[in-house]
Amino acid sequence: MHPSDYHESDVTKGAFAGIIGGLVGTYAMSEFQGWWSRAVRGEQPQSSGGEHDARDWQELEEDANANELAAQTVAKATIGRPLDREELSVAAPAVHYTFGAMLGGFYGAMAENAPGVRSLSGAAYGTAVWAAADEIAMPVLGLSDRTDQQPFERHFHSFAAHIVFGVTTELVRRGVRAALDYRA
């Protein structure tokens, strides 16, 4: 058992710690994906979110970006028009960070009462998010190409990035959660 397992369960504190973890995990994931694109592919995509956009691998392959597509969908439904490039430079990363924060909050809440959720220090959760979001949901929602049409390197790039997300989310969640008990 990890020392952080010895606190009294509090789903609200867990969710809050998870949200912070998810935000930091999303940042780490974005940085990792940018590094991968530069180091492995020798390319820097030109997404509207710039260096803060974790979907650069998709943009390089499909000339599309799920964060941008989702932001445009929300904009059309709420303000009745598409976003211009400047607006999209804020909205696309906001979509990704909001999704990461929500996933982190869910993770943090679950981790309070189901320690197995934290298995492999968040790597198992990162794997689950990768499988559910990138491999299933994104193609089904039309936010990316079909999974069977994507090259192996893209799957591996995304998988590795989600491991970074999961592990970072857990490490930060654990620290924030311990700090919340310390202050109490």
Per-residue pLDDT tens for 6-46? 678 999 999 999 999 999 999 999 889 888 888 887 877 66
Tell me what pLDDT residue 101 has.
Answer: 98
Q: Do residues 104 and 98 touch, judged by C-beta distance below 8 A?
A: no
Structure tokens given for 63 = 């000339």
Would you state the pLDDT for residue 43? 75
Mean pLDDT of the chain, nearest integer = 88
Q: How far is CA 57 from the centre of its chain?
A: 14
The answer to whether 25 and 172 have CB atoms below 8 angstroms apart is yes
- What is the residue extent of each domain of the chain? 8-183
pLDDT value for 56 = 65
**Digit-coded pLDDT (tens) for 117-148:** 998 899 999 999 999 999 999 999 998 888 88
- How far apart are alpha carbons 106 and 74 in whole angstroms? 22
- Which one, of 62, 77, 76, 70, lies nearest residue 91 by Cα? 70
Q: In whole angstroms, what is the distance from residue 74 CA to residue 81 CA?
A: 9
pLDDT above 60: residue 5? no
- The proportion of the chain whose per-residue pLDDT surpasses 70, expressed as a percent, equals 87
Amino acid making up residue 168: T
